[in-house]
Amino acid sequence: MLIYAGIDEAGYGPMFGPLCVASCAFIMRDYDPSMGEPDLWSQLSKVICKTRKEAVPRIAVNDSKKLKSNAKHKALTHLERGVLAFLSSSANTFPENDSAFFKATDSINHDREWYEGKTQLPIGNDVNVLKIDTAMLRKQLKASNITCPWMKCTSIDVCDYNEQTKFATKASLNFATAMKHVDGLLAMYGNDHPRIMVDRHGGRIQYRQELQLCWPEANIQILAEDQSMSRYRLSLGAKRVTLTFASKSDEKHMPVALASMLAKFTRELHMIRFNRYFASQIPDIKPTAGYVQDGRRFLKEIEPILAKNGVQQEHLVRSS
């Protein structure tokens, strides 16, 4: 048996909206870990593909940036389809709105007026087609003796982000949040020695010291530290985990790709609420994705509303 997991983030660079860090884990009951890293795209190829072009009738799973369309009315179609199909594959129903989705993935509804109001799901898909997708995926997972019981996302909004980055860089906040997901996976599956893949954070190669700070009591063995990957085996009592940091993990490992999609979809749901709130205040305002260049335009346009409502910019705009 192999516990095969991945961690990725979305929203690292914007000035508006949350930083979202997600993790996904597959249990592959018939897989021998000594065979190395599996290729889930191949194993699930009857129902899963990598590109939007192939995604009829299969479901596309890949780095979220490759699946989000530029077409406004279809922007989230493939992200939503993949995330909801996998989330629902281990449940009897899929969430009817974003609040239920946040609850199912252990994310949160942020307590700010610009995040009020639920969004009905699905956004870019037909509900009946999604039910067919889910049934198709569930059937293939069962035939392959594979489950996807773990899909979690941490959402850190601007207030918490600004508070935490007073004492740390955003890179260290991102890393610490990812390691909280590792800790959760270790607690849940540590007796079965999960293998966790993480997209490499920047150009760093050495992570042992930071890992030891996260788990002071653990024995941490360096398995590899080079340009291709950094790999460590962490032992804590009877629990073990092998943790690998590598560039482009979201293109090579389906759990990381799905985590990328989950993080991006979670952030997009928050931004839908965000833009809907400000559109209710300024009806002709153009929505923003929250990234700096367009974010500056958006901030200038909403400044009168912020002043009118007594909103401090540090509650809405990231400090770094």
| CA 47 vs CA 116, 128, 246: distances in Å | 36, 17, 27
* Alpha helices (H) in the chain, listed in sequence order: 40-43, 64-67, 77-89, 98-104, 127-143, 158-164, 170-189, 208-214, 249-252, 254-281, 292-309
Instruction: Please tell me the least confidently modeled range out of 67-71, 265-269, 272-276.
Output: 67-71
Query: 181-204 pLDDT, tens per residue?
Result: 999 999 999 999 999 999 887 778
Sign of the alpha-carbon torsion through 42, 132, 149, 99: positive
Query: Starting at the edge strand that comes first in sequence, how are the strands of the sheet with 19-28 ordered?
Result: 146-156, 19-28, 2-10, 195-199, 239-246, 230-236, 219-225
Tokens of 202: 């920047």
Share of the chain above pLDDT 70, in %: 97
| CA 41 vs CA 37, 45, 82, 123, 126: distances in Å | 12, 5, 13, 26, 24
Where residue 295 falls (left for φ over 0; alpha for ψ -120 to 50; beta otherwise) is alpha
Return d(Cα 290, Cα 299) in angstroms, integer: 10
Antiparallel, parallel or unpaired: β 59-60 and 48-49 = parallel
Return d(Cα 200, Cα 177) in angstroms, integer: 14
Pairs from 139-142 (Cβ < 8 Å, separation ≥ 24): 140/44, 140/46, 140/47, 140/48, 141/44, 141/89
Per-residue pLDDT band for 11 (boundaries 50, 70, 90) equals very high
Share of the chain above pLDDT 90, in %: 77
Per-residue pLDDT band for 33 (boundaries 50, 70, 90) equals confident
Give me the pLDDT at residue 69, please: 65
Give me the pLDDT at residue 72, please: 57
| Residue 256 confidence (pLDDT) above 80 | yes
Residue (of 306, 267, 229, 304) closest to 108 by Cα position: 267
Residue (of 117, 110, 122, 188) closest to 154 by Cα position: 110
| Residue 172 confidence (pLDDT) above 80 | yes
Q: Are 193 and 3 in contact (CB under 8 A)?
A: yes
Give me the pLDDT at residue 116, please: 92
Instruction: Please tell me the least confidently modeled range out of 167-176, 212-221, 254-263.
Output: 167-176
Q: If you average pLDDT over every residue of the chain, what do you get? A: 92
Query: 126-153 pLDDT, tens per residue?
Result: 999 999 999 999 999 999 999 999 999 9
Give me the pLDDT at residue 167, please: 86
Query: 56-114 pLDDT, tens per residue?
Result: 889 999 998 888 766 555 679 999 999 999 999 987 778 999 999 999 999 987 889 99
| Residue 236 confidence (pLDDT) above 60 | yes
